[in-house]
Amino acid sequence: MAQRPRRLGIMGGTFDPIHHGHLVAASEVAQHFGLDEVVFVPTGQPYQKRQASPSEHRYLMTVVATASNPRFRVSRADIDRSGPTYTIDTLRDMRDAHPDAELFFITGADAFASIVEWKDADELWELAHFVAVTRPGHEMEATDYPPERVSRLEIPALAISSTDCRARVRAGYPVWYLVPDGVVQYISKHDLYRRDTA
């Protein structure tokens, strides 16, 4: 039987907390592109954003959320690297760890727009195929990229964001059904987002 290269999806994110929008996006891309596995990679301390929750909490929530899916796995690569996370470093690490795999970097259309503007963008296109998923309220504005290295995929619209989830917890609203049950329980057990400001 002819062997095709392993196809690995990479889903980077702050995951503060991980929610069903992330999981549906990963699952849809995996189905559409015939991925063997999707690796979720929680970021180190984000440089563009508010102060995020400690990496270890974000990592563990991602593990809890993905544990039941045999094709989902979580990497510590970005949280164990010191300093802010750049997609180029994530992809270089994944390339080193899986030299024979085809890499598919999964990103929301909004996050994709900022990736295009980065330095070293040319190397990004060599390292991975990019899949920009649509997300309610976020249009893809970027135009400056090689079209053969980027696909757009419409996924079922889930207007869920981590920002909203944090705001709900802080206001005492439930996040059941927006995030996996285990993540609801993790948030409550560790009293996360009670005093959050964003």
Distance, CA of 185 to CA of 153 (rounded, Å): 32
With binding defined as CB under 6 A, does residue 85 bind ligand ATP?
no
* Amino acid at residue number 138: H
Distance, CA of 40 to CA of 63 (rounded, Å): 9
Q: Given candidates 7, 110, 129, 168, which one binds ligand ATP under the rule CB under 6 A?
A: 110
Q: Given candidates 8, 10, 13, 130, which one binds ligand ATP under the rule CB under 6 A?
A: 13
With binding defined as CB under 6 A, does residue 108 bind ligand ATP?
yes
Binding mask 27-56 for ligand ATP (x = CB under 6 A): ------------------------------
Q: Given candidates 8, 9, 10, 14, which one binds ligand ATP under the rule CB under 6 A?
A: 14
What would the DSSP string read from start to end of 43-96?
-SS-SSSSPPPPHHHHHHHHHHHHTT-TTEEE--HHHHSSS---HHHHHHHHHH
With binding defined as CB under 6 A, does residue 160 bind ligand ATP?
yes
With binding defined as CB under 6 A, does residue 9 bind ligand ATP?
no
Cis peptide leading into residue 147 (ω within 30°): no
Q: Given candidates 27, 75, 87, 161, which one binds ligand ATP under the rule CB under 6 A?
A: 161
**Which residues sit opposite 72 in a β-bridge?**
38
Query: Taking the CA of residue 182 as centre, how many other CA atoms within 13 Å lie in the half-sphere pointing to its CB?
Result: 12
**Rg, the chain, Cα only:** 16
Q: Given candidates 60, 153, 158, 167, which one binds ligand ATP under the rule CB under 6 A?
A: 158
Tokens of 117: 């503007």
Using CB under 6 A as the binding rule, the residues of this chain from 61 to 80 that contact ligand ATP are: none
With binding defined as CB under 6 A, does residue 60 bind ligand ATP?
no
- Cβ 133 to ligand ATP, closest distance in Å? 5
